């Protein structure tokens, strides 16, 4: 007689929600693009924003670009899992996209600011928060300048938020310093691999032994 009694688990095979955030220019977008190449099944959520599109940005691929009043209507209709005002513009994550994709069993990645990440953790405590930190203040400024997407005034505005943002890193599940891009991507990938190795993701696998 087997000494271990199997209990029926109510866990479903839901996907995992990974949230990547950190100061502007720290390399979140670069890391997310690399992660998507390594994990084609990982679904990157496309945010909605009232920010003006930058050169080369495509509607529906980089963001859904909306007017302020349309964004505010979506807030009233509770369409966002989280939303925040970041550097003077609204940004938000579609509740429907995230919840439906997780329910279908796919993993989702959000690249959002810190206010938004903490809102997600409050609503979905099982979400995995990864904070991407710059190696130095000087390097962060250099990257923002080298990216060439923002005016010097906008860069200064973004840099002035960094100290307060770094203080909130302690509320995350993981911190990854983006010094060398390959090393940072490997570390985030290691977090994804570890989180996907939790026993609750193996329900279907274990069930085959009962047949």
Q: Does 133 bind ligand 5GP (CB under 6 A)?
A: no
Interacting residues with ligand ADP between 122 and 151 (CB under 6 A) = 143, 146-147
Q: Name the residue among 116, 109, 129 with its Cα closest to residue 29.
A: 109
Among 86, 144, 176, 188, which residue interacts with ligand 5GP (rule: CB under 6 A)? 86
**60 DSSP assignment:** T
- Contact between 68 and 2 (Cβ < 8 Å): no
The Cα 110–Cα 47 span in angstroms is: 8
**180 DSSP assignment:** S
Among 17, 47, 50, 74, which residue interacts with ligand 5GP (rule: CB under 6 A)? 47
The option from ligand 5GP, ligand ADP, none interacting with 147 (CB < 5 to 8 A, set by class) reads ligand ADP
Among 75, 145, 163, 181, which residue interacts with ligand ADP (rule: CB under 6 A)? 181
Summary count for the chain: helices (H), strands (E) = 9, 9
Q: Does 178 bind ligand ADP (CB under 6 A)?
A: yes
The option from ligand 5GP, ligand ADP, none interacting with 25 (CB < 5 to 8 A, set by class) reads ligand ADP
Residues in CB range of 87: below 8 A, 6 or more apart: 24, 154, 157, 158, 161
Name the site residues for ligand 5GP (rule: CB under 6 A). 21, 24, 28, 47, 51, 82, 84, 86, 91-93, 111-113, 115-116
């Amino acid at each position: 007689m087997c000494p271990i009694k199997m209990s029926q688990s109510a866990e479903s095979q839901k996907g995992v929600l990974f949230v990547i955030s950190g100061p502007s220019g720290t390399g979140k977008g670069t890391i997310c693009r690399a992660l998507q190449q390594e994990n084609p099944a990982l679904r990157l959520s496309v945010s909605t924003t009232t920010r003006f599109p930058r050169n080369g940005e495509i509607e529906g691929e980089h963001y859904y670009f909306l007017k302020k009043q349309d964004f505010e209507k979506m807030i009233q209709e509770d369409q966002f899992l989280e939303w925040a005002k970041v550097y003077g513009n609204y940004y938000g994550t579609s509740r429907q996209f995230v919840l439906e994709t997780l329910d279908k069993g796919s993993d989702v990645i959000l690249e959002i600011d810190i206010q938004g990440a903490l809102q997600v953790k409050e609503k979905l405590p099982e979400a995995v928060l990864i904070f991407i930190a710059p190696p130095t203040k000087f390097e962060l400024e250099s990257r923002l300048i080298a990216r060439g997407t923002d005016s010097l005034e906008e860069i200064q505005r973004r840099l002035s938020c960094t100290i307060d943002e770094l203080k909130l890193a302690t509320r995350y599940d993981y911190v990854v310093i983006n010094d060398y891009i390959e090393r940072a991507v490997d570390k985030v990938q290691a977090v994804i691999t570890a989180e996907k190795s939790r026993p609750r993701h193996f329900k279907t696998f274990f069930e085959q032994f009962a047949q």
